[in-house]
Amino acid sequence: MENKPSHFSALLFLLISLVLFSTAKCGIVTYWGQGDQGEGTLTEACNSGLYGIVVIAFLSKFGNGNRPHVNLAGHCNNVPNCHIKVGHGIKNCQNKNVKVLLSIGGADGGYGLSSADDANQLADYLWNNFLGGQSSSRPFGDAILDGIDFDIEGNRGDPENYAVLAKKLREYMDKNTWKKFYLSAAPQCPFPDHNQNPALSNVYFNFVFIQFYNNPDCQVDSNNFQRSWNKWTSTINAHKFYVGLLAAPTNTDKGYVTPETVLNKVLPFVKNSPNYGGVMLWNREMDKNSKFSAKIHDSVNK
Q: Where are the domains of the chain?
A: 23-300
In tens, the pLDDT along 95-106 reads 999 999 999 999
Element of type H or E holding 46: helix 42-47
58, pLDDT greater than 90: yes
The DSSP letter of residue 243 is E
- Residue 42's Cβ-count burial label (10 Å; 0-12, 13-18, 19+) is buried
The separation between CA 79 and the C-alpha centre of its own chain, rounded to angstroms, equals 25
Choose the weakest-confidence range: 11-20, 65-74, 112-121.
11-20
d(CA 81, CA 109): 22
pLDDT in tens, 150-166: 999 999 989 999 999 99
pLDDT tens sequence across 195-238 = 999 999 999 999 999 999 999 999 999 999 999 999 999 999 99
Find the catalytic residue in 2, 39, 44, 153: 153
Return d(Cα 200, Cα 102) in angstroms, integer: 18
Phi, psi of 79, deg, nearest 5: -110, 110
Across residues 121-127, what is the average pLDDT?
Answer: 98
For residue 245, the cross-strand partners are 281
Residue 77's pLDDT is what? 83
**Distances in whole angstroms, Cα of residue 34 to Cα of each of 71, 106, 107, 146, 261:** 8, 10, 11, 20, 26
In total, the chain counts a number of residues equal to 302
Q: Name the 3-class secondary structure at 187.
A: coil
Sign of the CA dihedral running 257, 28, 229, 60: positive
What pLDDT does 137 receive?
Answer: 94
| 8 Å CB contact between 86 and 108 | no
Contacts of 168 (CB under 8 A, 6+ apart): 119, 120, 123, 124
Q: What is the pTM of this model?
A: 0.91
Please check whether residue 152 is in contact with residue 119, taking contact to mean a CB–CB distance below 8 angstroms.
Answer: no
Residue 59 is predicted with a pLDDT of 98
Q: Are strands 147-152 and 205-211 parallel, antiparallel or unpaired?
A: unpaired
pLDDT value at position 25? Answer: 52
- 39 is known as an active-site residue: no
pLDDT, position 123: 98
CATH H superfamily, domain 23-300:
Glycosidases (3.20.20.80)
pLDDT at 23 over 60: no
CB 241 within 8 A of CB 184: no
